[in-house]
Chains A and B, each alone.
Chain A
Amino acid sequence: MRAFALRLMRSPEGMAGLILLILLAAMALCAPLVYPGDPMAIAGRPMLAPFSDPAFPLGTDRLGRNVVAGLMHGARASLLVGISAALMALIAGSIVGTVAGFAGGLVEDILMRIVDAFQVVPGFLLALAFVSVTGASLPVVVVAIALGAWTGPARLVRAEVLSIRERDFVAAARTMGMHPAEIAFREILPNALPPVLALASVIVASAVLIEAALSFLGLGDPNIVTWGSMIAEGRNLLRSAPYLSIAPGLGLVATVLGVYLFGEGVAEALARRRGRA
């Protein structure tokens, strides 16, 4: 594990991504300390331009809300939704993929047809439909995003499990009388995970973007600031006050970029370990 961390540090992408993510996480964590209280409360004169008032480094929007406070609190929502949706998708996908790949036969057919059914619907539409039916709140948004994202990990894990289950160490586990569930989840699944972890970064990044898109369309949780809702509000003033859309937009770019670079570094470090082994 330490050697893995070292290899990760040595890859420039991984390091850059890690720094970006740490900065964003620090931003999200410090938000209630630096700007206690509701970031949606009116804080000053409306439509202050950036860098004109030291109390509002990035200015205020048309209701007089502090843009920096919104950005920092918005980072919480974006990272929280992105990471929990990806985690949910990975866990659900890994379980379905392992069961399908290991059990085979009818169980595999049924599970994989369900995966197909989910995969033919674009993830964003699925999330849109789910949120509009159940009403917007943070947990609902997380589930909605995971709903469209679990199929990728499921297919990948199944493919890995199919090749791993033929290996001798699985035969050895069977001959020693190990329970099939234990073989599937303790012997096979951990060995199927590395490529899935590489996929995780793509899922986190797309989850952050889907969350922003949902908020942009007004289907996010209305009680919290998100970058998507900030962009949506800034859109009306795109000509007179572009900074209202650009600032949260840059936040999204930084998050997605950080996650991608970090994922790239992880994938590379994993590949190097495989090469050595």
Chain B
Amino acid sequence: MDVPLLAAKGLSKTFASRGRRVAALQDVAFTLKRGETLGLVGPSGSGKSTLARVLMRLIEPQAGSIHFNGDDWLKLEGRALRERRGAIQMVFQDPLSAFNPRATIGSALAAPLRVHGFADGVAELLARVGLTASLAERGIHEVSGGQRQRVAIARALATRPSVIVFDEAVSALDASVRGQILQLIADLQQSEGLAYLFVSHDLAAVRVIAHRIAVMDQGRIVECGPTQDVVSNPQSSTLKALVAAVPRLRKGG
């Protein structure tokens, strides 16, 4: 357990927009152990989504390296990359736009199984996220937001990943559903030993799910440590502001 499952070093990414250069990531480093949840918090525009997308190989960084499962993750290309991509999956913020609008729940879940040649069924996946198999016939538009996010989690599980990235995955859900989804995420980690990168600006959600928290601001990780220590004794002004923005924390924590 001492060798991290995933280790990122020196990640940098600068976006050029209308002549202005915006540093989304500046020399970012972090590690993730098997079965661990790293919470990634920060204000909007702090680069946390960019970091998630770099990890997913959706955005290529200008510098840095990621070692994952014995691979030089950023060096993988083409077929080799496609075959290994299933090992890191992502759950997006808005489950409605994360699915092909023409897809049914069944076809959306069958796609990753087919791509990776797994024989297990859609019903099995639905059961793992607490949904009934009868939903498979329905369109993505025809189920509630909470059910949709469960389907998104099921899709992420389909490729048998060891890491799942949640990009604001519970932020768009209403409060009661958010609790259930967080519970599901935590249960899945318990039973399957998954590692999570949990990206959110919602410190309350991150606090209950994350073992460690990394705080980002303006493309840098400004603070990182075990959840309890970091939240109870924030050092950076960014985290202090985030903690102050969650009034519930004072009572409970």
Contacts and interface: CB of A to CB of B under 8 A. Distances in A.
Interface in A142-176: 167-169, 171-176
Given A168-B92, A190-B102, A277-B141, A175 B85 contact: yes
A175 B89 CA distance: 7
A168 B98 contact: yes
A187 interface: yes
- Name A's interface SS: helix
Given A172-B155, A175-B56, A176-B159, A187 B100 contact: yes
B100 A176 contact: no
Contacts of A277: 101, 141
A273 to B, nearest CB: 11
A277 B103 CA distance: 13
Contacts of B112: 176-177
Given A171-B58, A175-B90, A176-B89, A191 B111 contact: no
Contacts of A169: 97-101, 103
B118 to A, nearest CB: 11
Interface string A248-277: 000000000000000000000000000001
B83 interface: yes
A172 B159 contact: no
Contacts of B84: 177
A28 B189 CA distance: 66
Most buried by A among B58, B81, B83, B159: B58
Interface string A222-237: 0000000000000000
Contacts of B89: 175-176
B115 A177 contact: yes
A178 interface: yes
A176 B88 contact: no
A157 B57 CA distance: 26
A177 B100 contact: no
A24 B153 CA distance: 52
A165 to B, nearest CB: 12
A176 B103 CA distance: 16
A171 B98 CA distance: 8
B97 A177 contact: no
A191 B115 contact: no
A2 interface: no
Nearest to B152: A172
Contacts of B207: none
Nearest to A187: B100
Given A178-B111, A277-B141, A172 B99 contact: yes
B111 A173 contact: yes
B39 interface: no
A40 B45 CA distance: 74
A28 to B, nearest CB: 33
B86 interface: yes
6 closest cross-chain pairs (CB), A and B? A177-B85, A177-B82, A176-B112, A168-B98, A168-B97, A168-B92
Interface of A: 167-169, 171-179, 187, 190-191, 277
9 contacts: A168-B97, A171-B90, A173-B111, A174-B57, A175-B57, A175-B58, A175-B89, A175-B90, A187-B100
